[in-house]
Every structure is written in C-alpha cells, then in structure tokens.
C-alpha cells in the first residue's frame, strides 16, 4: 500500500505544484485524473523519488521512501510521459542494458528476463528492430517492458495512451490490466476512458489538490440527479452558458448537446442523465473553477 500524507511541493519560482495531497492507494489499478498542468507529473516524479517534496510524508508498505529512496527504486517500475532510449539500439539489446542497470548481473538471468518481457508485451517478433522504427504503441509497450524489469511492487505510468490509435490503446490497456492484478499500479492521465476501463479506485487532481476520491461506480451513483442534458442550436451555446453551469458540450449527428450541473430539475427542456465518469470528472472541474473564482472575488 502506498500512502501520501499532506504532500506539498513549491518550485523555486513560487509555483505551488502540489498542495497538501493525501492519498491511500491499495494494490491494484489506481487512476489519477486531472487536466494538463494539474500537477500529476509532479506527483508521479515525487512518488518515484525523482524529486523531494517541500513537505509531507510518503510511505510504501511501511517504508519511508523520502528517507530511503534507493530502497524504493529497487521495487519501482516507472514509465514517464516522455522516456528516453537510444533509438538505434534494438529492443532486445536495450532491455538487456536496462536489466544490467537494474542489478541483474547474470547473463542467464538477463536472458530469461528479457525474453519473458518481450513475449509479455508482444514485441518478440520485433526484438531485433531498432526502437526508432517502432510505432507509438510499440514504444509504449517497450516502456512497460522496461518498467517491469526486476518484478516491481509499485508501477507508475504517466499519460501512457496519449497519441495511441484505438487498437494500440486497447492492446496497451489490456496489458496494464494484466499487470495490475498483483501490484500497485498508478495510472496518471487526463483521459477519462482509461480510468473508467481499468481502475476500481481513483482520484481527481486539480491545481495540485485532490478534489475527488473514491470508486468510479460510487462516484457515478452519487452524481445521479445532478447532471442534465439538452440538445440546442450551436448559436444558443453562449446564452446557455450564461444561465447554467455548462460542464461539457459535444456534437452528435451534427447537433450540439450540452450537459449542465444542477442539484434540481432545471426544467427548460433538460432531461436527467445517469452521469458517466466523464460527467463526474467535468463536474468536478467545474466546481473547482467556481470555487477558485469565488475565492478570487472574495479576496
């Protein structure tokens, strides 16, 4: 189990990237949702011991990872949003090199490790191909392979499906689901569907703070009766924005559908929506923006 208590981080320029973050993350898949710039990557780098928070505590299975970062690194697999590799090196040779860095010194043990991982991520047939020639999805699967070296107990993946086509995304998510059965896997993303498909527990991070936490099903149940939908003309959108708290707009068959947040029946032709996780997420963002605006006006 990973536990974060009152973790904050302020950069030297005064930007507060994390603001009193507390989370308890059990074994299995955990989704961390948030818009770009919310502080997700800062939080992931902090958990991965790549930077030290300004304040707070982080423990993993009782280990104080801020006091003993090297002890965690031996148990950690990390796929950052942008990970560097030597592009002209083959997938096999690159994994073999990374296994050495991970402390697997025996040639036989490395061979077993590399071959097992290449088969697990379905890259065996291209093991001799230079990574520069890999597609985006192949690179991400290679990234997971390198993160799995050493059988880690904690795996962090940061925005792993951004830019993948639907087929590669499904293949990658299936791989993550298989991995997440026995270890702690943190999926940090702004793509709601990834969390909805994979994660039995999640949190929403906005402006460095946790705004929502729980099981997706419970959060969607709680949102019932607060999300309302209506089909409107495109030119009416600004007017509706001025009257209601519009949390999302989408086009369907050329028509504009708006979803609004309201704790009672607004009438005016709106119908209740059994909100999905996307509605939960967008309503959380809307409430955060409203709170920030009210705080600014009060100041």
pLDDT given at position 294: 78
| Domain spans of the chain, in order of start | 2-215, 221-298
**At 30, is the secondary structure helix, strand, or coil?**
strand
| CA–CA distance, 161 with 242 (Å, rounded to integer) | 35
Count of C-beta atoms within a 10 Å radius of residue 278: 17
CATH topology of domain 2-215: Rossmann fold (3.40.50)
| CA–CA distance, 125 with 132 (Å, rounded to integer) | 16
* Cβ–Cβ under 8 Å, residues 127 and 90: yes
| CA–CA distance, 210 with 189 (Å, rounded to integer) | 14
| CA–CA distance, 135 with 156 (Å, rounded to integer) | 22
Q: Is 83 exposed, middle or buried (0-12, 13-18, 19+ CB in 10 A)?
A: middle
Q: Which residues of 11-33 are buried (b: 16+ CB within 10 A; e: fewer)?
A: eeeeeebbbebebebebebbbbb
pLDDT given at position 67: 96
Count of C-beta atoms within a 10 Å radius of residue 217: 11
pLDDT given at position 172: 83
Cα–Cα distance list, 100 to 72, 152, 282 (Å): 18, 15, 44
End-to-end CA distance of the chain: 40
| CA–CA distance, 117 with 178 (Å, rounded to integer) | 13
How does DSSP assign 51-105, residue by residue?
Answer: S--SEEEEEETTEETTT-HHHHHTTEEEE-SS----TTSBHHHHHHHHHHHTT--
| CA–CA distance, 4 with 26 (Å, rounded to integer) | 12
pLDDT given at position 254: 82
Rg (CA), the chain: 22
One digit per residue, the tens of pLDDT, for the chain of length 299 reads 999 999 999 999 999 999 999 999 999 999 999 998 899 999 999 999 999 999 999 999 999 999 999 999 989 999 887 776 677 899 999 999 999 988 888 999 999 999 999 998 889 999 999 988 988 888 888 988 999 998 899 999 988 887 788 888 888 888 888 888 889 999 999 889 999 989 999 999 999 999 999 999 999 999 989 999 999 998 899 999 999 999 999 988 888 999 999 999 999 999 999 879 999 999 999 888 888 777 777 76
């Amino acid at each position: 189990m990973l536990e974060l208590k009152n973790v904050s981080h302020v950069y030297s320029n005064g930007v507060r990237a994390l603001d009193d973050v507390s989370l308890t993350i059990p074994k299995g898949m955990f989704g961390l949702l948030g818009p770009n710039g919310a502080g997700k990557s800062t939080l992931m780098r902090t958990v991965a011991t790549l930077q030290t928070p300004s304040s707070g505590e982080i423990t993993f299975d009782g280990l104080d990872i801020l006091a003993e970062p090297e002890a965690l690194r031996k148990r950690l697999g990390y796929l950052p949003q942008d990970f560097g590799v030597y592009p002209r090196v083959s997938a096999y040779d690159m994994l073999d090199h990374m296994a050495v860095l991970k402390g697997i010194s025996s040639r036989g043990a490395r061979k077993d490790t590399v071959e097992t991982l290449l088969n697990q991520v379905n890259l065996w047939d291209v093991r001799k191909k230079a990574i520069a020639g890999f597609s985006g999805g192949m690179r991400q699967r290679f990234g997971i392979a390198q993160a799995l070296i050493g059988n880690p107990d904690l795996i962090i993946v940061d925005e792993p499906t951004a830019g993948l086509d639907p087929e590669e995304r499904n293949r990658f998510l299936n791989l993550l689901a298989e991995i997440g059965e026995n270890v702690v896997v943190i999926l940090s993303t702004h793509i709601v569907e990834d969390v909805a498909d994979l994660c039995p527990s999640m949190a929403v991070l906005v402006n460095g703070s946790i705004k929502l936490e729980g099981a997706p099903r419970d959060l969607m149940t709680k949102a019932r009766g607060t999300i309302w939908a209506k089909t409107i003309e495109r030119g009416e959108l600004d007017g509706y924005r001025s009257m209601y708290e519009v949390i999302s707009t989408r086009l369907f068959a050329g028509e504009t559908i708006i979803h609004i947040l309201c704790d009672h029946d607004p009438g005016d032709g709106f119908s209740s929506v059994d909100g999905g996780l996307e509605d939960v997420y967008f309503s959380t963002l809307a409430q955060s923006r409203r709170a920030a605006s009210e705080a600014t006006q009060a100041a």
